[in-house]
């Protein structure tokens, strides 16, 4: 049996954090999320790696090792692969995000 879990985090820009496959991030504040360009290697399209809001801006700079996802408050992104990530910002103010994931619960009784 799966249980939907959720929490709100406050993440500092530039600090790397790990996101598991299946995690959904919903921006509370405006967030620029960096994911490694290596996730998209071999010609993988964005939609094979993430489910993202259709209105979300995405930047793929040729001289960067990351793909940037611009989430406005209320926009969501769901990862289809586990990855490290970090918040991009010109200041050091933490950004708030809601994180949702499925937690597996054993149905075995003892």
Looking at the chain, the whole-number percentage of residues with pLDDT higher than 90 is 80
* Predicted confidence band of residue 107 (pLDDT cuts 50, 70, 90): low
Percent of the chain whose predicted confidence (pLDDT) is above 70: 95
**CB contact burial 39-66 (16+ within 10 A = b; e otherwise):** bbeeeeebeebbebbeebeeeeeeeeeb
Q: Which pTM was predicted?
A: 0.89
Check residue 20 and give left, alpha or beta (phi > 0: left; psi -120 to 50: alpha).
beta
The residues spanned by each domain of the chain are 2-91
């Amino acid at each position: 049996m799966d249980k939907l879990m959720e929490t709100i985090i406050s993440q500092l820009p530039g600090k790397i954090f790990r996101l598991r496959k299946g995690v959904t991030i919903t921006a509370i504040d405006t967030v620029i999320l960096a994911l490694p360009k290596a996730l998209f290697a071999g010609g993988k399209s964005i939609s094979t790696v993430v489910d993202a809001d259709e209105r979300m801006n995405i930047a793929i700079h040729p001289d960067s090792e990351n793909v940037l996802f611009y989430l406005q408050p209320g926009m969501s992104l769901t990862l289809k692969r586990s990855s490290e990530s970090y918040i991009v910002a010109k200041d050091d103010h933490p950004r708030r995000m809601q994180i949702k994931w499925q937690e597996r619960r054993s149905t075995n009784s003892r």
